[in-house]
Each structure stands twice: as structure tokens, then as C-alpha cells.
């Protein structure tokens, strides 16, 4: 009743003492003399936090004008305009739960009793996130409620060994969003603010040690470490350079600092030994993955993947790539083009990217990252997640506005050293002084390595040292000179001192500086052709043949002069000597140079 030329209604209720039910029939048909037309309606869209998307669709409803006195003849009161990201909080809570202040709470009148929520082995449940609707894979629709599975098993589980996290930086603050053990977003977007020192500009190169929350920051040609002690930061300068830096990354457990400078040189410093290794040249961007000891980087026309226990593998590309990520464990590659187009490929090797079509193509992307099967990206100030196993559905992680975000990174944060518990039983260590590309290796293979310098070759080692080089071959940070403490084995840090500083200081030319400040007079200059003789197939150093050419030219001139003076007595004696000893031109050259030096 009450539909299209039959505006009859039945009203029912209870009498005052609720002893009987009353029914009343009312027919409004005679009051209307026409049926409604299109102009009697206006479109209306549901708005949520300024957006018109709801349950994966933008739906337009047709609402009758309040002054239109007509019979409704519309058979449908809505139409779907287009699809949009799916938001789990658009759906009602699961059976036995109700929605309260952003969470699904167990109905106290329900007969459901939950004594324990189960997770798989080595996982732990998050109880307060139970009760949200579970969606079908790939579509924005809640799946059917299963009382046996849904009430016994926790909806959200996290790992006891690691944490999956997204770190965000804005111009004024930073915060962390935690994911579940598979990298899926939690049904409730929960963030934890992280403190930043007042003198830090997040636009400069910086990285956060996600284990300790210490900050590595570059400014004024120096990389500094900020130690967070109860919201008080202590600044320690680590390395000073004679070149500018574009971006940095770290590995907490291996004490590796990765640096890309503005000359497109990509290198690593061991923060245990302070020695340097050139990794690649002509690099425009890199992404370090501490989950498998590898880095993805791109060069002009090349996509490269480098496992530090193996070698660099590059493939050609015709695309103008801004950022490249290869997630080896699950075989996904992401290419962010400079026009902000994101391409996702499902490949097991990087050289297959050019031979396959992308499984996903997204426009207007500013940042992205991949963790396990999950792709996260920033598009038009919103955070979107896609399960790459079912790439037909885009999930809105939160309705927060991210227009002020300037950096985003995905991190697997291990609670214990993952390299001491590798699946192959290997305990990894990394040494930048190893000559080959595979500078990370099992500890039992240490004696099989070939090094760039001999252990006692101080002149060679000095070229690789990013700090103060001791005569006894150690490389220390540049804050050890002339403070009365023998920090080098041979005490060479206390030699030739114009004066002795206090133990908490060090000598910088003529001044004593605190040990947390480096001497600005000494900056490390990366010597490309000297630091590494050959870098696999990715970098070729051109040799200098000028000395050999000069020597050959000198010998040729000598021969011509001697031929011209052949009749002289001295020349005859010389030719007799050369004919007896069968001296070749190169021997003559050596003889001539020796005589010249003696003169």
C-alpha cells in the first residue's frame, strides 16, 4: 500500500492500557489529482565526512520536493553513479555486536560468551577490535556470518616476532599506523604520534629507526643521530661529507647506513666500522627492505634489484620511473611513473616486467608501498589499500585527510635480530670491505672473502674510511683526537697534538669541541674510481692510459735521436751494448729515465 495511485495506509497501535490493538485505514488517493514528474524530485547524495561514497558506491537518491502534491510513480528511488573505495565502517557490526564510538562492542544482552579468542601459532589477538563486518574478497559486501568461526577466532591478530607499520611525516609531526600480522589494515584506524626534535625539518633527508625510534637526520653536510630519552633528544653528529645527500635508510640489526647523494651515487656505511662501500652509480631512487636484506633502485632506463648476499640484477625499461619497488617474497613490483601513475606487476623476476601487463593501473598517486600481499598508496589526500590477490576492490583505510603528508614508508619491525634466525640456518653479517657485490654473508664463510684492501695497507684503508683513520687500520668517528684517551690501538689519535682536550672533548684544529660535534674542517669525500676498482656489471671505471702513452712516445724519440747520431762514438758504444743484450725499446726507455733522474 502507499505506492503509485494507491495511497492507502493502515495505521495500528495499542490502546492506553495496552489491552487491545487498534487498526485504522486511511486512503489519501482522492486528495491527489496527478502523478509526480521528474521536476518534482531533486537528487540527494549521502555525505560522510565531506565525501559522497558509501559502501563502495556513490549513490544518488531521488527525494520528492516538499511542495509537490502528487502521487509518487517512481519505481526506483536511487541510482549508482560510480564505484568508489570500500570502507568497512560503512557496514553494521557483526551479529551480537553494536556500534559505539567507532568500535563494535559486544551486546551485553546477547547470550554470546567469549572466554578466549584464538589466533594461529605465534600470534596474539586484539580483543577490542572484534565484531566488525568481514567483507568478501574483492567486492564491497559483507560475507555471511559464521557463528562457529567468527565467534571463536579473533578478527585481528598481530605477531609476537614483528610488527607491520606505516610511518607518516607531515611538516609538523609524524605518526605510526599499526597493521596486522599479514599487513592488512585494522578495522579501526589507530595511530601513535612520534616525537620530533624542534630543530628538524622533515623535508630534509631523514629516517627513523623503527626499533628504537632514534632519528637519523641530514643537514649542513652532516648526518646526525637524535636519541630520544623520555621525550628529550640528545643530538650526536656521526658523519660529515663534502657532497649533498638526497635520501638515507638504515638497517638496525646490521648497523648499516644507506646513502644516496645528489650525484646519484648509492653507497653504504657500516656504523660498526665506519668503512664505506660503493653499491651503484647513476641511481635516482632506492627502497631498502630489511625483511630480506635487499634494495630496489632505479637508474635512467633501468630497474634494479640487489640482494646483499648475491649480486645486482637490472632490466631495461622505457618508462620514466620515479620510484621502483620489488617485493620478492610474494612476487609483486610497483612502478611509480613521474606523471604520478602507479603500475603494479605480478612477476617473480624483475626482467619479466617488460614482458607482462600490469595487474593494476592507478592515476594521481603520490606515495606507495607494498607489504606482503597489500599495496598502500596515497591518492588525492586519501589512504587506499588493495589486496593484490583480489585487485578488484579498493579499500579506504580511513576517512582522514592526508593533504599535509610529505613522506610515507612501510616497515617490518622485528623485535629480535632476524638475521640470526634465517630459515637456511645462516647468521648474516655485512662487511663493506668485501670486494664483491655479495658483501653480506654467513659468518662461517668469513674466511672465504676477498677484501678491497690488505689488513695492514693503511693507505688503501684510508680511502674507505668515513671518519678518523688510525695508523693501526681502524676507522673511528671523527671526534677522538687529542683528548688523552688512546682510542686507536696504536694511540695515533693522540699524536702531534697542539694541546690536550678534556676526555669529553676532541681537538678540532686549535679548538676543543664536545664529542657530540664533529670537526667541520674534516669532511669525507667519496673517491669514485679509487674506492672501488670494479662494481660488477653495473659500473665501469675508465682506466688512465696517459702514462703508458707518454713512456712509449719518449722511447720513440730516443730511438730517432740515436739513429741520427749513429756515427758518433758514444752512439756506437751504446748500440753495441744494446745489440749484445738484445734490449727492447721499453728497456731503453727505463735506462733513459733512470739516467735523467740521476742527472
Q: What is the pLDDT of residues 164-180, one digit of tens each?
A: 999 999 988 899 999 99
pLDDT tens digits, one per residue of 42-71: 988 887 766 788 888 888 888 888 888 888
Query: What's residue 124's pLDDT?
Result: 94
Share of the chain above pLDDT 70, in %: 84
Query: What's residue 515's pLDDT?
Result: 95
Query: What's residue 76's pLDDT?
Result: 66
Q: Cell triple for residue 340?
A: 604520478
Q: What domains are there in the chain, each with its CATH number?
A: 8-83 (no CATH), 92-160 (no CATH), 180-419 (2.130.10.10), 457-530 (no CATH)
Checking if the pLDDT of 399 tops 50, the result is yes
| Pairing of β 8-14 and β 302-307 | unpaired
**59/61 Cα distance (integer angstroms):** 6
Average pLDDT over residues 269-287: 96
**407/400 Cα distance (integer angstroms):** 16
Average pLDDT over residues 125-144: 90
Beta strand segments in 198-244, E: 206-208, 215-219, 222-229, 232-240
Query: What's residue 480's pLDDT?
Result: 94
Spell out the residues 6+ positions from residue 41 whose beta carbon is closer than 8 angstroms to its own: 62, 63, 64, 65, 68, 74
Checking if the pLDDT of 281 tops 60, the result is yes
pLDDT tens digits, one per residue of 206-249: 999 999 999 999 999 999 999 987 778 999 999 999 999 999 99
Range from 332-336, 345-349, 541-545 carrying the lowest mean pLDDT:
541-545
The alpha carbons of the chain give a radius of gyration, in whole angstroms, of: 36
**403/378 Cα distance (integer angstroms):** 9
Query: What's residue 37's pLDDT?
Result: 86
**185/400 Cα distance (integer angstroms):** 14
pLDDT tens digits, one per residue of 87-127: 988 888 988 888 888 899 888 888 777 767 889 989 999 98
Query: What's residue 550's pLDDT?
Result: 39
**369/166 Cα distance (integer angstroms):** 9
Long-range contacts of 488-493 (CB under 8 A, 24+ apart): 493/468
Looking at per-residue confidence, does 430 or 16 come out higher? 430
pLDDT tens digits, one per residue of 13-22: 888 877 788 8
Q: Cell triple for residue 554?
A: 719518449
Residue in the block written with cell 693503511: 458
Query: What's residue 3's pLDDT?
Result: 54
Spell out the residues 6+ positions from residue 152 whose beta carbon is closer than 8 angstroms to its own: 117, 118
Phi, psi of 124 (to 5 degrees): -130, 145
Query: What's residue 542's pLDDT?
Result: 33
| Pairing of β 294-299 and β 302-307 | antiparallel
Query: What's residue 118's pLDDT?
Result: 86
Identify any residues that bridge with 48 across adjacent strands, giving them in sequence order.
51
Quickly state the pLDDT bin for 163 (edges 50, 70, 90): very high
CA dihedral sign of residues 133, 137, 138, 141: negative
Query: What's residue 152's pLDDT?
Result: 76
Residue 194: closest CA among 217, 219, 212:
212
What is the DSSP annotation of 159-211?
ESSEEEEEEEEESS-EEEEEB-TTSPBPSS--EEEE---TT--TTSSEEE-TT
Quickly state the pLDDT bin for 558 (edges 50, 70, 90): low
Entry pTM? 0.80
Checking if the pLDDT of 526 tops 90, the result is no
**Which of the 8 DSSP states describes residue 536?**
T
Checking if the pLDDT of 564 tops 60, the result is no
Quickly state the pLDDT bin for 82 (edges 50, 70, 90): confident
Quickly state the pLDDT bin for 559 (edges 50, 70, 90): low
pLDDT tens digits, one per residue of 449-458: 899 998 888 8
Amino acid at each position: 500500500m502507499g505506492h503509485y495511485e494507491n495511497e492507502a495506509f493502515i495505521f495500528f497501535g495499542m490502546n492506553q492500557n495496552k489491552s487491545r490493538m487498534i487498526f485504522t485505514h486511511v486512503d489519501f488517493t482522492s486528495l491527489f489529482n496527478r502523478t509526480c514528474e521528474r521536476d518534482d524530485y531533486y537528487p540527494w547524495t549521502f555525505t560522510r565526512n565531506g565525501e559522497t561514497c558509501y559502501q563502495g558506491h556513490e549513490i544518488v537518491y531521488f527525494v520528492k520536493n516538499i511542495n509537490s502534491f502528487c502521487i509518487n510513480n517512481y519505481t526506483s528511488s536511487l541510482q549508482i553513479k560510480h564505484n568508489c573505495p570500500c570502507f568497512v565502517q560503512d557496514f553494521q557490526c557483526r551479529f551480537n555486536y553494536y556500534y559505539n564510538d567507532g568500535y563494535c562492542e559486544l551486546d551485553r544482552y546477547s547470550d554470546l560468551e567469549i572466554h578466549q579468542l584464538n589466533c594461529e601459532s605465534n600470534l596474539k589477538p586484539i580483543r577490542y577490535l572484534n565484531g566488525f563486518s568481514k567483507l568478501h574478497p574483492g567486492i564491497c559486501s559483507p560475507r555471511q556470518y559464521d557463528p562457529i568461526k567468527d565467534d571463536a577466532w579473533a578478527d585481528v591478530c598481530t605477531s609476537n616476532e614483528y610488527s607491520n607499520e606505516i610511518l607518516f611525516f607531515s611538516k609538523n609531526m609524524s605518526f605510526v599506523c599499526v597493521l596486522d600480522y599479514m599487513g592488512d589494515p585494522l578495522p579501526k584506524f589507530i595511530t601513535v604520534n612520534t616525537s620530533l626534535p624542534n630543530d628538524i625539518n622533515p623535508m630534509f633527508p631523514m629516517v627513523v629507526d623503527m626499533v628504537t625510534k632514534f632519528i637519523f637526520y641530514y643537514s649542513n653536510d652532516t648526518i646526525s643521530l637524535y636519541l630520544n630519552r623520555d621525550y628529550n633528544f640528545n643530538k650526536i653528529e656521526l658523519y660529515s661529507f663534502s657532497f649533498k645527500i638526497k635520501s638515507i635508510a638504515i638497517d638496525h640489526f646490521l648497523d648499516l647506513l644507506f646513502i644516496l647523494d645528489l650525484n646519484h651515487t648509492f653507497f653504504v656505511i657500516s656504523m660498526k666500522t665506519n668503512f664505506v662501500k660503493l653499491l651503484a652509480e647513476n641511481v635516482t631512487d632506492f627502497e631498502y627492505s630489511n625483511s630480506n636484506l635487499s634494495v630496489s633502485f632505479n637508474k635512467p632506463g633501468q630497474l634494479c634489484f640487489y640482494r646483499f648476499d648475491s649480486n645486482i640484477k637490472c632490466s631495461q625499461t622505457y618508462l620514466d620511473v620515479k620510484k621502483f619497488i620489488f617485493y620478492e617474497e610474494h612476487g609483486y613490483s610497483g612502478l611509480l611513473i613521474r606523471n604520478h601513475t602507479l603500475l603494479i606487476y605480478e612477476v617473480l623476476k624483475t626482467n619479466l616486467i617488460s614482458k607482462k601487463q600490469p595487474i593494476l593501473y592507478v592515476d594521481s598517486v603520490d606515495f606507495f608501498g607494498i607489504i606482503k600481499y597489500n599495496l598502500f598508496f596515497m591518492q588525492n589526500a586519501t589512504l587506499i589499500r588493495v589486496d593484490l590477490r583480489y585487485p578488484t576492490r579498493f579499500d579506504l583505510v580511513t576517512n582522514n585527510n592526508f593533504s599535509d603528508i610529505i613522506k610515507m614508508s612501510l616497515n617490518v619491525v622485528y623485535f629480535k635480530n632476524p638475521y640470526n634466525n634465517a630459515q637456511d640456518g645462516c647468521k648474516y653479517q655485512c662487511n663493506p670491505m668485501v670486494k664483491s657485490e655479495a658483501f653480506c654473508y654467513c659468518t662461517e664463510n668469513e674466511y672465504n672473502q676477498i677484501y678491497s684492501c690488505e689488513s695492514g695497507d693503511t693507505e688503501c684503508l684510508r680511502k674507505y674510511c668515513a671518519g678518523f683513520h688510525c695508523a693501526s687500520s681502524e676507522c673511528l668517528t671523527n671526534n677522538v683526537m687529542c683528548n688523552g684517551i688512546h682510542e686507536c690501538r696504536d694511540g695515533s689519535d693522540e699524536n702531534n697534538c697542539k694541546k690536550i682536550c678534556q676526555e669529553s672533548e676532541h681537538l678540532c684544529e686549535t679548538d676543543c669541541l664536545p664529542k657530540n660535534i664533529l670537526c667541520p674542517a674534516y669532511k669525507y669525500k667519496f673517491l669514485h674510481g679509487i674506492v672501488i676498482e670494479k662494481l660488477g656489471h653495473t659500473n665501469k671505471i675508465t682506466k688512465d692510459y696517459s702514462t703508458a702513452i707518454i713512456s712509449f712516445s719518449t722511447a720513440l724519440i730516443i730511438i730517432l735521436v740515436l739513429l741520427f747520431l749513429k756515427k758518433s762514438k758514444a752512439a756506437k758504444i751504446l748500440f753495441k751494448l744494446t745489440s749484445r743484450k738484445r734490449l727492447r725499446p721499453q728497456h731503453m726507455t727505463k735506462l733513459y729515465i733512470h739516467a735523467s733522474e740521476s742527472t
